[in-house]
Chains A and B, each alone.
Chain A
Amino acid sequence: MSARAGAGDAPGSPRARALPVAMALREAGLAAFVMAVLAFPLIGFVLADVSGGVTLRTRFEWVALASAIVFAGRFALAIMPGRVSLPFAPAFAAAGGALSRSGAGRWIGPALAGFALVLPAMPFSDRYIVDLGTSVLIYVMLGWGLNIVVGLAGLLDLGYVAFYAVGAYSFALLALHFDLTFWQCLPLAGVFAAFFGIILGFPVLRLRGDYLAIVTLGFGEIIRMVLLNWQEFTGGPNGLSSIPRPTFLGAPLARSAPEGTTTFHELVAPLMEPVYALFGEEWGFSPMHRIVWLYYIILALALVTNFFTLRIRNLPIGRAWEALREDEIACRSLGINPTNTKLSAFAIGAMFAGFAGSFFAARQGFVSPESFTYIESAVILAIVVLGGMGSQLGVVIAAAFLILIPEFGRDFAQYRMLIFGLAMVLVMIWRPQGLVSGREPSVRLHPEAR
């Protein structure tokens, strides 16, 4: 609620200079009054279940508390000098700006990648940490994929999770019906997802940005409802289970292998002889192997996505995306076909979601429509937006932040989406370009002129 400060009175205006405290008190009083009006019906009363219906309980102390907080917050903002709207906003801005401007970004990226690479070998890494790392990396990969669509091409896609679902279900169905392995399905899942992206994109990409947003949202919901209702094909709400896990060069990472194959620990046993000799311990099956293996798969997939994005930004197509984001009419005048250019961004973004989806299915061993709701799309979008549209590093920071928040306290989990929503609004108000500014153009006419 304290965001009300935003556009209020300019601090330089005569009235504000004359009586800053009185003005601030007045503003804070108004804000507190509005908060009280808002909170009175929805927080002041709560519908409580009783046998045979509902009744009302009151908790006006919460209303008073909310108003008091808003009063204090608004007062603090109003008496603050300068055009600053939040104490930590300029710090964020400075840090973000410095990160994108200076060479810092150049070593932070590789440093993070290096850290990710050695994470499973760290002494503090246990099953939980590696699992969590895998979750974060899935979202990092999805964020990077969506970044191509939203950050580079400037197309607001609210149904990104649909392509994730297409990837997951195509792997699940191919594996269950045709006995294909994860590695055979991975490219296929990407192709299917990209194909869906083209089918959807072709008619709708001529539309204005906000129409596109709602159509992609609709498309995401259509996919989910088809998955939910087409019982005989997708298993309906029960989903599909017993999806095979990814193998290591054809060797399953399991305690015992099916007929005719060897398991991973049997496969590597000969190579590990010197290690056994050194440590005097046999290296048998451990469930940890599979978790670490999954972690490295998603790490590799995510890094491929990142590498691809970084490289394609320097190709004509990548430049065309960014140009299109900045000014569509100018692009059309210069002979860029906007539909085809957008379509390529859409399809490539969808392809990476397809890869991530098939990994998700392989990791869980189970898929159901529950995993592919609109909220999931919103979370991925939040990652891209909070990180800074177009910024690769920003996506990592935002993904880590958003996925790790609920882990720090289970009590917090309930407020996770609340904070997501609020953060999206606040970031848009204070730093519309995201925490790490990514709208730096890839090319400049005069590189020395900053």
Chain B
Amino acid sequence: MEYFVQQLINGLTLGAIYALIAIGYTMVYGIIGMINFAHGEIYMIGAFMAVITFTALGILGLSWAPAAILVVLVVAMLFTSAYGWTVERIAYRPLRGSHRLAPLISAIGMSIFLQNYVQIAQGAKIKPLAPVVQGSIPLMTSAEGFTVSISYLQLIIILLTVALMAGFTLLIQRTALGRAQRACEQDLKMASLLGVDTDRTISLTFVMGAALAAVAGVMITMYYGVIDFFIGFLAGVKAFTAAVLGGIGSLPGAMLGGLLIGLIEAMWSAYFSVEYKDVASFVILVVVLIFRPTGLLGRPEVEKV
């Protein structure tokens, strides 16, 4: 029981991170109907921004953790958004209205490019980061002496994710930008006829997705303490699985899917095998697509001529 609760906490932490990445996939898919293959790399760039900024702050002598984390989050979100914006501007915008596979292939190319760009710019070795937040709160202890605890870092990750999700939902539902995004999602052409600046809306969607991915990158860096240029691939596929599981195009779906994938991965590693934990999410992806391609909360998609 205690072991299970501990895995639940670990899974929720992981799931929160996947959910943040999944939002980027699901929003882009909702609006322009393409899988942004480079999104995993954007997350990886966010993680590199985190290591670089933390190291820079360490050199500058800012060691008070809350301030450091705040600065890192802001810096990472800003610069990573710039990458998100540029990727859309270069690789996807010129291809709007092209044949179906073109943006997808361009996205794969962008993903390969960014991965190798970071590898060349920063080196292929793994980058370590000294723990920023330490300590944990013990929750309960079993008869055998196994203590369930939630670390401060896990608490920060979960709370920050919840706060971001809430803010994000408000942004989509209440602001003019959110309204424009929802209009574009329903019908891009009609929205542009009615005076919505679709190019700008799509750009901002990429910027927002990248900012959330940057937060995920910062948190995974603090959580695991090591990153390399290759982390974007697996995380990207898992987050995409989360988006599909929840129903692609649906924001609550992405959050739910992310949490489920995190939990499944934690439980799978705990009770079955660690070696095959990455296989688990792929298997889920395939199974979901076969039996419920619209996901848990998605709307059925009607193919039109």
Which of A's residues lie within 8 Å of B, judged by CB? 1, 3-4, 6-7, 34, 37-38, 40-43, 45-47, 49, 53-56, 150, 154, 156, 158, 203-204, 207-211, 213-215, 217-219, 221-222, 225-226, 228-229, 328-329, 374-375, 378, 381-382, 385, 389, 414-415, 417-418, 420-425, 428-429, 432
Contacts and interface: CB of A to CB of B under 8 A. Distances in A.
Given A38-B86, A42-B122, A47 B55 contact: yes
Contacts of B286: 203-204, 215, 218-219
11 contacts: A47-B51, A208-B301, A209-B100, A211-B244, A215-B285, A329-B303, A378-B108, A382-B109, A417-B112, A417-B115, A422-B109
Interface hub of A3, A414, A423, A428 (most chain B Cβ within 10 A): A428
Contact of A424 (B51, B55, B89, B105): B105
A38 B89 CA distance: 13
Contact of A421 (B34, B111, B127): B111
B237 A3 contact: no
Interface stretch (B4-12, B153-161, B188-196, B273-281): B273-281
B120 interface: yes
A326 B69 CA distance: 51
Nearest to B282: A218
A98 B243 CA distance: 44
Interface of B: 34-35, 45, 48-49, 51-53, 55-56, 59, 75, 79, 82-83, 86, 89-91, 93-95, 98-106, 108-118, 120-123, 125, 127-128, 130, 233, 237, 240-241, 244, 275-276, 278-279, 282-283, 285-286, 289-290, 293, 301, 303, 305
Contact of B35 (A210, A219, A226): A210
A429 B113 contact: no
Interface hub of B49, B89, B101, B283 (most chain A Cβ within 10 A): B101
A415 B121 CA distance: 11
Nearest to A379: B112
Main SS of the interface on chain B?
helix
A87 B100 CA distance: 27
A377 to B, nearest CB: 10
A107 B51 CA distance: 56
A428 B128 contact: no
A49 to B, nearest CB: 7
B283 A420 contact: no
A204 B305 CA distance: 22
A204 B288 CA distance: 11
Given A4-B89, A45-B52, A47-B123, A54 B100 contact: no
